């Protein structure tokens, strides 16, 4: 009976410790939730700065080869949240049809109000496109101006203090209006500079 009496306080102590630990976790969770409610993170900003076109031509009426390099910058506008890009890919689109393979961007962390710049090479060889899209692109090439969309997509996490929060899908659509001139007479790569804001969606 003496040993039973001695064990009882230990059981009560462990029970109190578990209750305190659970209460602390609940408190921290509520505090983070309230902080996120009051100070929601702003989505990152993307800008396409330039595009260098190495080639944009047809090997037959419906097979397109595209080679280009673009410069993209991204900025974290938040003063309290960091942004971690866990996985990002980028490719070129013409009239809602993908014309290059996806190029992976390196995993990147942006601290408060920090900027990062990437210069990925986008390439697609003999990419099949629909006759209607091919006809539109041929017309644009003949006119000397092509309007492409550079699409960035992947996942991000917010960082608050030392904690990573959530996992969200990111889509950035960057319009690139490129005055090619006469591409058949291009002897080397031509760089086109512009500063164009991208439409960004985080969900």
Instruction: Going from the first residue of the chain to its last (203 residues), give the mean pLDDT of each consecutive group of 10, the final group possibly shorter.
Output: 54 71 72 64 97 92 96 97 97 98 97 97 97 95 94 96 90 95 66 94 96
Q: Does 104 lie in the same domain as 29?
A: no
Q: CA angle at residue 104 from 81 to 86, to 5 degrees?
A: 25
Read off φ and ψ for residue 9, nearest 5 degrees: -60, -35
The pLDDT value recorded for residue 113 is 95
Q: Does 139 lie in the same domain as 165?
A: yes
Q: Does 167 lie in the same domain as 101?
A: yes
Q: Does 50 lie in the same domain as 26?
A: no
The pLDDT value recorded for residue 185 is 59
Read off φ and ψ for residue 120, nearest 5 degrees: -75, 150
The pLDDT value recorded for residue 124 is 98
β partners of residue 176: 148
- Residue 13 makes CB contacts below 8 A (sequence gap 6+) with none
How many other CB atoms are found less than 10 A from the CB of residue 111?
A: 11
Domain encompassing residue 15: 1-38
Q: Does 33 lie in the same domain as 72?
A: no
Q: Does 65 lie in the same domain as 32?
A: no
Q: Look at the chain and report how many structural domains it folds into.
A: 2
């Amino acid at each position: 009976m003496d040993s039973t009496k001695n064990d009882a306080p230990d059981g009560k102590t462990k029970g109190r410790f578990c209750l305190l630990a659970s209460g602390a976790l609940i408190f921290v969770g509520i505090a983070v939730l309230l902080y996120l409610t009051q100070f929601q993170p702003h989505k990152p900003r993307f800008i396409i700065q330039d595009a260098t076109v190495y080639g944009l031509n047809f090997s037959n009426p419906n097979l397109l080869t595209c080679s280009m390099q673009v410069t993209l910058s991204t900025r974290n506008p938040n003063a309290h949240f960091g942004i971690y890009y866990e996985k990002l890919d980028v490719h070129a689109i013409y009239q809602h049809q993908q014309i290059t393979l996806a190029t992976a961007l390196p995993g990147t962390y942006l601290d408060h109000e920090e900027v990062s710049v990437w210069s990925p090479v986008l390439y697609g060889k003999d990419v099949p496109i629909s006759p209607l899209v091919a006809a539109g692109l041929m017309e644009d090439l003949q006119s000397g101006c092509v309007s492409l969309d550079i699409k960035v997509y992947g996942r991000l996490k917010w960082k608050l203090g030392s904690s990573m929060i959530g996992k969200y899908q990111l889509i950035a659509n960057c319009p690139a209006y490129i005055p090619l001139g006469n591409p058949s007479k291009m002897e080397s790569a031509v760089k086109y500079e512009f500063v164009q804001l991208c439409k960004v969606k985080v969900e």
